[in-house]
Amino acid sequence: MESYYGFRKGDFNLWMSTEILCYQHSIFRFIRERDKNSPWHTANDVDTQFKKVLNDCGVGLTYALSPQAKGKVERPYRWIQDRLVRSAARKRIGNMKLLKKELSVLIHNYNTKWIHSTTQEIPVIRFENALKDRCLFKPLRVKQKSVEDIFALRVERFIDAYRKVSLSGLHISVPHGIPRAKVDIRLRPDVKTGVTDVRFWQDNVFLGNQRVKTCDLKMVQF
């Protein structure tokens, strides 16, 4: 949710890649035999929360199926981690607050000052040049008008005859809901207040929202 608050403060003028490469962690991909005990799903080809967000943003998802492909994902993080450890030891950093500050400086330098060993270019300059020429990045365009509906947890439910849906035994009224129709639910928890904003969508139309206590939504772990 920290990412959500960061986007909310900005002007939401973002660029997204056409496709993202990630490894087969359960956050990114549901695999039947591995995740068969998951309380969420029972099917084999199930979209995870991460993939649903990318679908809304029009971004494809490719999985690393070999050690070589995984290395492309993990190598930059391993380099930054090793550099952070050496920098912290050299500067005698002894608490987490200063360590986080040092990490921010390190990432900034990596993106804007240092020449990448493989591309022989500074990442931010390479990115700006790519936007001018042939580019695999595109402006972020989403169906929903509000950023709250993009960076949120999602579930689907059928509305009952009383225009309500059930989330882990909690019955919630759906504004303007049509009985026996499927509704797309976006859950946006607020960690500070302990309240979750439950937003209802149907056929790309916003029906309304309800606010409930986060602790009552036992099916979702925040």
One domain for residues 78 and 113: yes
3-state secondary structure 134-179: CCCEEECCCCCCCHHHCCCEEEEEECCCCCEEEECCEEEECCCCCC
Residues with Cβ < 8 Å from 181, sequence gap 6 or more? 158, 159, 202
Percent of the chain that is helix, strand, coil (3-state, to 5): 35, 25, 40
Question: Of 20, 41, 63, which residue constitutes the final position of a domain?
Answer: 63
Answer whether residue 175 is part of any domain.
yes
* Cα 51 from Cα 27, distance rounded (Å): 9
Q: Within 13 Å, how many C-alpha atoms sit on residue 165's CB side? A: 25
Q: pLDDT category, 145, cuts 50, 70, 90?
A: low
Interval 175-185: pLDDT, tens? 988 898 999 99
**How many domains does the chain fold into?**
3
Same domain for 55 and 82 = no
Residue 146 covered by a domain = no
- 188 and 197 Cβ atoms separated by less than 8 Å: yes
Maximum Cα–Cα distance for the chain, whole Å? 66
Q: Are residues 160 and 118 in the same domain?
A: no
Task: Tell me the HSE value of 25 on the side-chain side, using a 13 A CA sphere.
Answer: 11
**Is the same domain home to 58 and 75?**
no
Residue 142: inside a domain: no
Structural domain includes residue 221: no
Contact 217, 168 (CB under 8 A): yes
125 in the same domain as 82: yes
**70-98 confidence digits (pLDDT tens):** 666 677 778 888 999 999 999 998 889 99
Which residues form the domain of 57?
2-63
21 and 43 housed in the same domain? yes
Structural domain includes residue 118:
yes
Same domain as 99, residue 59: no
- The pTM (predicted TM-score) of the whole model is 0.58
**Higher pLDDT, residue 213 or 140:** 213
DSSP run (H or E) holding 50: helix 49-57
